[in-house]
Structure 1
Amino acid sequence: MKITPVLMSGGAGTRLWPLSRQARPKQFHPLGGERTLIQDTALRVTGDLFGPPIVVANAAHESLVRGQLAAIGLTPRAILLEPAGRNTGPAAAAVAAFVAREDPEALLLLLHADNRVRDVAEFRRAVAAGIPAAAAGALVVFGIHPTGPETGYGYIRAAAGDGAARQVDAFVEKPDLASAQAYVADPAYSWNAGVFLFSAGLFLAEVRSLVPAIAEAAEAAVEAAQGSGDAVILGDAFLAAPSEAIDTAIFEKTNRAVVVDADIGWSDVGTWQALWSDAPQDAAGNVGATVTAGATGCLVISDGTPVVLAGVADLAVIVENGVVLVARRDDPEAMRAAVAALRASGREDLL
């Protein structure tokens, strides 16, 4: 039995605006690598363990998905196109309903298309370690070994026990710094990277039981789906699904959740701080500037305009398609506020 990878590509990556925009979110950018994030994600789930991937994407991104996968020689099993984003809970339910029509015992591996993994071999080993539990009826979540007290990530607390898969004791959302520091020191805790493994039919049954409104909308959307070839346009019933993440909608409520450790060098590549940390820096800690004079710890990403930094520190300076952003490198909340301010001012054309 081969696992069907499911690449969740519906996110907008607003913390990386203006590089990541509605027309071309962050998964379609290389962000310091040779390939784009969705390309790296798709290649990560090739080999003996995996069948062709299913991609869940916004309908406006079909050509981007198809073109970027074709560029690395991959043909998806299907591209499920959402009429509008409803978060990962409804998206996962729709994929499960789509696959379960043919094979309810098929194993699905859900993963975000816009994350980075440094140790691909260890990632595949972790997935293989989760197969017995998923085949036996568990909903598997992969727990990432924490490398620091991150307050922007969710955490998983595992119950005591031996074996590759341990029962999930609790999910903890974005803790304060003191709690995060305690979690890093406690081997029971791991980061929740949003990578899940389960059988299609069992997951769908769990969604029906725990959040019937999501199940009803997702199944109706699959039933009314249209398209040709590998493109599947979900029906408008999908819009009736409550917008909720798979974590809170299902995994925090089910008693079937188990966690498998995955020390894979994971990053969500979701902030300027993360991009700066991953990139080669000059002696003053700067990345990407054309010329610097007394500047330290800054990140510059430009689509061609030269950027000179003088006497500043810890900034992100982004020049993209006619827009310039200057922000603190380490303040993702300021980015959310900037995007909210653009919406409030009616500048949707810039998003």
Structure 2
Amino acid sequence: MSNIFPTILSGGSGTRLWPLSRKHYPKQFLRLTSSYTMLQETALRLTGFNKPIAVCNESHRFILAEQLHEIGQNPTSIILEPVARNTAPAIALSAFKALEQTRDAILVVLAADHVIEDKDAFQNSVERAAEYAEQGKIVTFGIVPNAPETGFGYIQAEKGDSSALKIKRFVEKPNKSKAQEYLDSGDFFWNSGMFVMKASIYLEELKKFNSKMYDSALKAYSNATSDLDFVRVAKQDFELCPDDSIDYAVMEHTQLGVVLPISVGWNDVGSFSSLWEVLPKDENNNVKLGDIQSIDSNNCLVQSENQFVATIGVDDLIVIGTKDSILVANKDRVQDVKQVVEHLKGKNRKEHLLHREVHRPWGKYDSVDTGNRYQVKRITVKPGASLSKQMHHHRAEHWIVVSGTAIVEINDKQTLLSENQSIYIPLGATHRLTNPGKLKLELIEVQSGSYLGEDDIVRFEDNYSRS
């Protein structure tokens, strides 16, 4: 159907999957269940329709754009949220954009970080839901439960003959006994957070039940500016939107809501126990990712980014190792991982914000070593890319080219460097690094000075419109 627009909401932070997921590189951008990232899997799920509309945090814009470009899913639009305001305002922005394409636009609203194993069944479900959307219904997918799950909200449906059932009520995450009651009743479904509806109908219902949100979102979108390939909505207007989900803002009030029960192998991968469930296991039910040896261990998830890890005589453990952090938890306590994130925030530590390897629109850097008044980074620059023209108040830098070629500009003087050559950038010098070649440029950067924070950058020119 040419009027269907997949709408990908990519605002999640995935705190329960720390240390894999970080604030500035959350789980939707990770390759957790396949060779594709979760965002890419979401986009590829609906390739038969229009290119997606994506809504994301401003700090994620280049990661999202690059990952969609990698799979040939250059989006209809990437809309930047200046502040987080939950799903209802984000969907409103998508609806305004879709209506610019066609007045009959149908949104298929998807979270960027869910797993759906049966893609064909899901696409068939979307087409069925679109038929109800054409009739003016707001359709949400209810996952047919196979266990008394306490980590999901539920939707209770009224009895009916149609495949899409009228919604009776939404309920929050239950305790175990209540979840068992819901499972036994047969009329409760897991709340997937996925929706299919006409953009115009959604906006009409939003205006009816939350006029302040509608007016603020409309004004923010009307005052939006274009920034490279992004739509940057007006921050001052968008901040006035109430911070509400679509369930709270619309679905709990509208008479147009219906739930379409589906069984498509859905999982929101909201915790490491959920991740363990969807990944292949060995003969002892262990998931092993990386250089792992398990001896007399059962039902574990062990992942290591860059180290050998061995487990001996343990059961039901989660062991996650990254370049800068290690998590060890009982599988039944994985919901408490967010407490670690809160601890890191309270101590003003950076491990909840960034990985040791940090992605930038021009490439990436890995902070190999840090000490008193020095820091060592391995920098990778994409072919044809340039870092911003910048200077630092508190540090000098040495650059040593490992592979590739580099054009280094220091105080308007350019130098061409090749493998094994180096250069010194004095404190306060205006400088820029460019990769003029067709291969990646790799270099080692040694910083020295009284302050080495990333905020000690004064940018004069930037290809990526960063301040």
TM-score normalized with structure 2 length: 0.72
| Structure 1 residue 299, shift from structure 2 partner | 1.1
* Post-superposition offset of 1:319: 1.2
Alignment map for 1:267-278 (pairs within 5 Å): 267-278=267-278
Higher RCO (Cα < 8 Å, 6 or more apart): 1
Q: CA deviation at 1:312?
A: 2.7
Conserved 8 A contact 2:23-2:352:
no
Task: Give the whole-Å Cα distance in 2 for the aligned partners of 1:2 and 1:185.
Answer: 39
The answer to whether the 8 A contact 1:114-1:269 is kept is yes
Residue in structure 2 matched with residue 24 of structure 1 by the alignment:
25
Query: After the TM superposition, which of the residue ranges 328-337 and 146-155 deviates more from structure 2?
Result: 328-337
Counterpart AA for 1:19: L
The offset of 1:32, in angstroms, is 2.8
Matches within 5 A, 1:214-225: 214-225=213-224
Query: Larger deviation: 279-288 or 203-212?
Result: 279-288
Tell me the alpha carbon deviations over residues 26-65 of structure 1, each in whole angstroms, 9 at most, x when there is no partner. Answer: 1111113121111111011111xx1111011111112111
Equivalent residue of 1:241, what SS?
coil
Is 1:290 matched up with 2:288? no
Q: Give the letter for the 1:70 counterpart.
A: H
Instruction: Give the corresponding residue for 2:107.
Output: 108
- Look up the SS of the partner of 1:204 in the other structure: helix
Provide Cα deviations, 1:270-296, integer angstroms capped at 9, x if missing partner.
110011122222333322262223333
CA distance in 2: counterparts of 1:239 and 1:325, whole angstroms:
36
Query: Deviation of residue 349 (structure 1)?
Result: 4.7
Task: Name the aligned partner's letter for residue 315 of structure 1.
Answer: L
Q: Does 1:259 align with 2:259?
A: yes
Three-state SS of the structure 2 residue aligned to 1:63 is helix
Query: What is aligned with 2:36?
Result: 35
Which runs of 5 or more residues in structure 1 are unaligned?
Answer: none
Decide whether the 8 Å contact of 1:5 with 1:52 is kept in 2. yes
Kindly indicate which of the two structures has a greater share of residues assigned to helix: 1
1:75 to partner: Cα distance: 1.3
Q: Deviations over 1:195-238 (max 9, x none)?
A: 10111111111111112222122111101111146411111021
Matching residue within 295, 302, 320 for 1:318: 320
Aligned 8 A contact 1:272 1:330 in 2: no
Task: Say which SS state the counterpart of residue 15 (structure 1) adopts.
Answer: helix
- In the other structure, the counterpart of 1:147 is 146
Letter in 2 for 1:321: K
Distance in structure 2 (CA, Å) of the matches to 1:271 and 1:188: 26
Distance in 2, Cα, partners of 1:301 & 1:86: 33
Q: Which position in structure 2 is the counterpart of 1:71?
A: 70
After the TM superposition, which of the residue ranges 269-278 and 107-116 deviates more from structure 2?
269-278
Output one character per residue of 1:111-140: Cα deviation in whole Å (capped at 9) or x when no partner: 101001011111111111112221121111
Matched, 1:246 2:246: yes
1:4 and 2:5 aligned: yes
Amino acid of the structure 1 residue aligned with 2:346: A
Alpha-carbon contact 1:291-1:309 (below 8 Å) kept: yes
Aligned to 1:336: 338
The code of the aligned residue for 2:14 comes to G
1: CA distance between counterparts of 2:139 and 2:229? 28
* Map of 1:99 onto structure 2: 98
Q: Higher Cα Rg: structure 1 or 2?
A: 2
* Structure 2: distance between partners of 1:133 and 1:163: 11
SS at match of 2:185: coil
TM-superposed CA distance for 1:313, in Å, is 2.5
- Higher strand residue share: 2
**2: distance between equivalents of 1:295 and 1:344?**
35
Q: Identity of paired residues, percent? A: 38
8 Å Cα contact 2:5-2:98 kept in structure 1: no
2:292, 2:303 within 8 Å by CA — same for their partners in 1? Answer: no
Measure how far apart 1:104 and its partner are.
Answer: 3.8
Deviations 1:278-324 (A, max 9, x none): 22223333222622233332211211111111233222111123111
Residues of 2 paired with 1:205 and 1:265: CA distance?
33
Task: Tell me if the contact between 2:18 and 2:352 (Cα under 8 Å) persists in the aligned partners.
Answer: no
TM-score by length of 1: 0.95
What one-letter code is carried by the residue in structure 2 that aligns with 1:326?
V
* Residues in 1 aligned to 2:84 and 2:267: alpha-carbon distance in whole angstroms: 23
| Pick aligned residue for 1:308 from 307, 310, 324 | 310
Q: What letter matches 2:135 in structure 1?
A: A
Q: How many residues align?
A: 349
How many Å apart are 1:21 and its aligned residue? 0.6
Distance, in Å, in 2 between the alignment partners of 1:149 and 1:87 is 27
Q: Which residue of 1 aligns with 2:51?
A: 52
Q: Deviations over 1:236-291 (max 9, x none)?
A: 02122122211122111211101112111101111100111222223333222622
**CA drift at 1:166:** 1.5
Q: 1:349 to 1:221 in 2, by over 3 A?
A: farther
Letter of the aligned partner of 1:337 in structure 2?
Q
SS in 2 for 1:350: coil
Structure 1 stretch displaced more, 219-228 or 340-349: 340-349
